[in-house]
Homo-oligomer: A and B are copies of this chain.
Amino acid sequence: MSVTAAAGFEAAGVAAGLKSTGAKDVALVVNRGRSHAAAAVFTSNRAKANPVLWSQQVVADGVVQAVVLNSGGANCFTGAFGFQTTHQTAELVAEKVGIGAGDVVVCSTGLIGVGDQSFRDKVLSGAAESATVLSSDGGLDAASAIMTTDTHPKQAVVEGSGWKVGGMAKGAGMLAPGLATMLVVLTTDADATPAQLDAALRAATHVTFDRLDSDGCMSTNDTVLLMASGESGVSPSADELEAAVTALCADLARQLQEDAEGASHDITIEVVNAMSEDEAVEVGRSLARSNLLMAAVFGNDPNWGRVLAAIGTTSAEFDPYDVDVSFNGVRLCAKGAPDRPVDEVDMTPRALHILLDLHAGPATATVLTNDLTHDYVHENSAYSS
Q: Does A374 interact with chain B (Cβ within 8 Å)?
A: yes
Encoded as 1 (CB less than 8 Å from any B CB) or 0, chain A from 284 to 300 comes to 00000111100111110
Q: Does A310 interact with chain B (Cβ within 8 Å)?
A: yes
A290: B residues at CB distance < 8 A: 216-217
Q: Does A97 interact with chain B (Cβ within 8 Å)?
A: no
Binds B, one of A154-162, A243-251, A332-340, A358-366: A332-340
Number of contacting residues on A, CB 8 A? 58
CA A374 to CA B379, docked complex, whole Å = 11
A84: B residues at CB distance < 8 A: none
- Are A77 and B305 within 8 A (Cβ)? yes
- Are A301 and B112 within 8 A (Cβ)? no
CA A113 to CA B332, docked complex, whole Å = 11
Which residues of A from 108 to 165 have beta carbons under 8 Å from B? 111-113
- Are A313 and B377 within 8 A (Cβ)? no
- Are B289 and A220 within 8 A (Cβ)? no
A44: B residues at CB distance < 8 A: 313
Partner of A381, one of B111, B173, B217, B298: B298
- Are B374 and A47 within 8 A (Cβ)? no
Closest 9 CB pairs of A and B: A299-B381, A112-B305, A47-B312, A295-B380, A47-B320, A45-B312, A79-B337, A46-B312, A298-B381
Can you list 17 contacts pairing A with B, beta carbon distance less than 8 Å?
A45-B312, A46-B314, A47-B309, A47-B311, A77-B308, A77-B337, A112-B303, A112-B309, A113-B304, A113-B305, A215-B291, A217-B290, A292-B380, A296-B384, A298-B377, A299-B382, A305-B385
